[in-house]
Amino acid sequence: MGKISKSVIERIKKNDIKPIPRWHFLLKDSSLWILSVVNIILGSIGFSIIIYLLKNNDMVSEIRLANNFFEWIVFAIPILWILLTLFFLFIAFYYFKNTEGGYRFNAVKILLFSTLISILFGSVLYTSGTAEKLNDIFGKNVPYYKHSMDVRNAMWSRPDDGFLGGNILSVNSEESILVLKDFNGLEWNIEYENAILRGRVVVRIGEGVKMLGEKLDEKTFLAREIRPLVGRGMRRMQEK
Amino acid sequence: MSDRTDGQIVEEALDDIDNYKYIVERYEQRLLLYIKRILYVNNEDAQDILQEVFIKAYRNLNSYNPKYKFSNWIYRITHNEAVNFLRKNKNLRKNIPNDPNIDIFETVPSHIDIEKESIEESRKDEILSVISKLDKKYRDVLILRYLEEKDYNEISEILHISSGTVGSLISRGKVKLKSLLEKYGKD
C-alpha cells in the first residue's frame, strides 16, 4: 500500500468515517427538482394574475385618472406580480442549475424554457378562471392588495372630475337608478339609463363598480360608463 | 485490481473500506499533479490536500453516479477542495504572480503552440507558468484541456459548467494566452 493510500485508509478507520447514505443524495436531488417545479408553478400563477390584472385594467384611461405617473404605475401595472414572477423563475432556475445534471444546460436556455412553461401554464390558469380566484384570495389576505385598493379608492373618489367608485346598495332597474356607497361612505343616486356596461360588470346589489360620468349635484351622479372593480376580492374588501 | 473498472472498485469499497486503497492508488499521482498545477503549491501541501480529497470522496462515495466517468467525479471533488484551500489560504494567491514581466517569459518561446491537441511533456511546465498569469476561470479550463487532456464534456462535468461555456472560455483563454506569449515571450 502506498504512503497516501495507507494514510487515507488509516484516517478513515481511526475517525470511523462512513459514506453518507445514498438516500441522502437522492433526497437532496429530489428536493431540488421539487423546489424547481414548485417555483415554476408559482411563476405560472404570477403570470396568470398578471394577465388577469392587465386584462381588467384600461391602462389608457387610467392615465387620465391617476394623479401622477407613480400612481398610474402602481395602479395600472401589476409591478408586484411581475417582480414576484421574475423572482420565482430565477429561484426555479437556481434550483434546477444545482440538480445533478443542471449545469449541463445553458443558463439562458433554462430561463427561456422555464419562462415559456410559466407563460403556457399561466395562460391555462387564466383561462380556467383560477387567476381570478387566486386574486380574490390575495386581495382578502395580502397587505399589498389592501394598499393597492387604497390607491384605487383615491382615484375613483373624484366625482367632481367624473370618477366615482363604490358598492351598489340598491337597484331600481325600472327607472335605471341605483344607490351607490362610495369609498368614503357617502351614498349617491346614480342614473345609469344610457350608461355603457364594460367588462363583466353586473348591476346588482353588492357589486363593486367604478364609473365614468358627471356629478349632477351633491347626491346625484350621471353614469356614462360602468366597469367592474378588478377581481371579486376587491369587492369583498369593499364590503367589509 | 487493475482490470476492474472504477465503478466496480467503488462498489467494493462501499462493502469494505480496504478496497478503497485501489481507488487512491489509481488516482493519487494524477490528482497530485493536478492539485499542483491549479494551486502552484509544494508537494507537501499538495499531499495534504489530496488526502482531504480522498477522505471527502469516500464520505460522498454514494453520490457517485456510475452513468458518468468516475475520474470526472473525483476531479470535481479535487477542484472543489482546491477552491476551498484557496479560500482558506488567501495569501497563497499572492504567490501566483500577476505581473507579466516576470522571469518565466524569458524562457518561454513566444511561438508555443497551445492549440496543438497534445502538448509535449517538456513543454507542459512552460505552458503552466504562462497560464498562471491568466484569470482563474481561464486557468481552470486551459489546465484541464491542455495539461490534463480532458475533452469539453469532461471539463463540463468537472467544473459543472455547460460545454458551451467551456468552449468559449477555452477559446478566449487561448487568445489571451497567445497575446501574452507574443508580447512577453522569448523570440
Range with the poorest average pLDDT among B6-10, B71-75, B117-121, B168-172: B117-121
Binned at pLDDT 50, 70 and 90, residue B132 comes out as confident
Instruction: With CB atoms and an 8 Å threshold, state whether B14 touches A19.
Output: yes
Q: A73-89 burial, b if ≥16 CB within 10 A, otherwise e? A: ebbbbbebbeebbeebb
Q: Which one of A147, A178, A201 terminates a domain?
A: A147
pLDDT digits over A180-233, tens only?
A: 999 888 999 999 988 988 777 888 898 888 898 999 999 999 999 998 875 433
Instruction: With CB atoms and an 8 Å threshold, state whether B60 touches A18.
Output: no
* Percent over 70 (pLDDT), chain A: 81
Query: Span B168-185, mean pLDDT?
Result: 85
Based on the fold, state whether residues B91 and B101 are members of the same structural domain: no
Q: Which one of B71, B96, B121 terminates a domain?
A: B96
Q: Which one of A121, A147, A173 terminates a domain?
A: A147
Q: Which domain holds residue A139?
A: 22-147
**Is the overall model pTM greater than 0.80, yes or no?**
no
Counting the structural domains of chain A, the total is 2
Instruction: Assess whether pLDDT exceeds 50 at residue A114.
Output: yes
Tell me which of A50 and B78 has the higher pLDDT: B78
ipTM value: 0.78
Based on the fold, state whether residues A183 and A133 are members of the same structural domain: no
Counting the structural domains of chain B, the total is 2
Q: Which one of B29, B64, B96 terminates a domain?
A: B96
Chain A residues with a Cβ under 8 Å from any Cβ in chain B: 1-2, 4-9, 11-13, 17-22, 24-25, 100, 103-107
Based on the fold, state whether residues B49 and B77 are members of the same structural domain: yes
Based on the fold, state whether residues A168 and A134 are members of the same structural domain: no
A84 belongs to a structural domain? yes
Nearest CA in chain B to A26: B63
Q: Which one of B96, B129, B159 terminates a domain?
A: B96
Based on the fold, state whether residues B166 and B90 are members of the same structural domain: no
Q: Of all helices (H) and strands (E), which one includes residue A189? A: strand A187-191
Quote the CA–CA distance of A182 and A156 in Å, as a whole number: 9
Q: Of all helices (H) and strands (E), which one includes residue A107? A: helix A107-127
Residue recorded with cell 478503497: B20
Q: Which of A9, A19, A104 sits opposite B59 (nearest CB)?
A: A19
pLDDT digits over A134-152, tens only?
A: 887 877 777 667 666 666 6
Based on the fold, state whether residues B102 and B170 are members of the same structural domain: yes
pLDDT digits over A150-183, tens only?
A: 666 677 888 988 889 998 999 998 888 999 999 8
Instruction: Assess whether pLDDT exceeds 80 at residue A90.
Output: yes
Judged by a CB distance cut-off of 8 A, whether residue B51 touches chain A is yes
List, in sequence order, the alpha helices (H) in chain B.
6-15, 20-39, 43-59, 70-88, 90-94, 104-107, 121-131, 136-142, 152-159, 163-184
Quote the CA–CA distance of B102 and A111 in Å, as a whole number: 44
A16 belongs to a structural domain? no
Q: Which of A1, A2, A21 sits opposite B62 (nearest CB)?
A: A21
3-class SS of residue A164: strand
Question: Which CATH number do you get for residue B87?
Answer: 1.10.1740.10
Q: Which one of A91, A117, A147 terminates a domain?
A: A147
Give the gap in angstroms from C-alpha B179 to the nearest C-alpha of chain A: 29
Based on the fold, state whether residues B9 and B89 are members of the same structural domain: yes
Based on the fold, state whether residues A112 and A42 are members of the same structural domain: yes
Q: Which domain holds residue B62?
A: 1-96
